[in-house]
Amino acid sequence: MKLYKKYLAKLANKNENSVSAKESVREDPEKVVQSKLSDERAEEIMEKIKIKYPEIYDLLVKELYRAIKQGVVSELDGLTLLSIAHSIGLDIRPDLRIRFVKNGKEVDMKEYLGK
């Protein structure tokens, strides 16, 4: 009987050590998803979802994390995130930006118009 108790204590101690080791290795799903955002528009959309729909944001991050770990998603751009948000019924609108490009370089409006 003493040997059995000793074995159970050893087994319980081993399980505690393995659980603590697994917890220290765990990744933060939000950081993994943030690292896969490919442009500033995607970061903006994720931030808007986080502010406007915090309960859905956590679920979305978990699902995107799962898709990244399974290899289904390699990177996320703004258009893809916006499509996902609209398909699940979220009313997210990115900020409107007007950019003037002249000879492959972004310039202000005065330079673009040549004044």
The one-letter amino acid at 53: Y
Task: State the first-to-last Cα distance of the chain, in angstroms, to the nearest integer.
Answer: 94
Q: Which residue matches tokens 């995607």?
A: 42
- pLDDT confidence of 114, banded at 50, 70, 90? confident
| pLDDT tops 80 at residue 5 | no
Query: Exposure of 81 by Cβ count < 10 A (0-12 exposed, 13-18 middle, 19+ buried)?
Result: buried
**How much is the pTM?**
0.64
The model's pLDDT over 59-101, given as tens digits with 9 standing for 90+, comes to: 999 999 999 999 999 999 999 999 999 999 999 998 888 888 8
pLDDT confidence of residue 113: 81
